[in-house]
Amino acid sequence: MNTTQIPARSMTTPQWARDAYRFPALPDDLDQQESTTAVDAGGDYLLAAPDPMQRLPFALPAPDMRRLDLHAALTTSGVAPLPGDLAAIHVLCELDDATVATVLRWITSTG
């Protein structure tokens, strides 16, 4: 079986990608911008922190927040919801905050 070697990712932009005629909006200092990108020890590119001023100006409705909390608690506990469980989660989301908090406590309790 033939194997194809995949070359390592180059840290500089190839010449063909810097062609000003093909990409007129390309900045002149592209290689300098790449060299200032933060890279952690694992070779992963780190993202900049989100700007709080660019957040959308609305909040999720309470049932949607409860649904996220229930899914997060189940996932954290290692319980993967089955397709039939989604209907039960939907019903639980419609309950009041105190009841959902109790269910969350039951799910996340270690004892």
Q: What percent of the chain has pLDDT over 90?
A: 31
Q: Is the dihedral angle over the CA atoms 89, 92, 97, 101 positive or is it negative?
A: negative
Q: Is 39 helix (H, G, I), strand (E, B) or coil?
A: strand
The more confident residue out of 50 and 10 is: 50
Assess contact for 67 and 89: CB atoms under 8 A: yes
If you compute the radius of gyration of the chain from its CA atoms, what whole number of angstroms results?
A: 24
pLDDT over 60 (residue 32):
no
Residue 11 to residue 45: CA distance in whole angstroms = 12
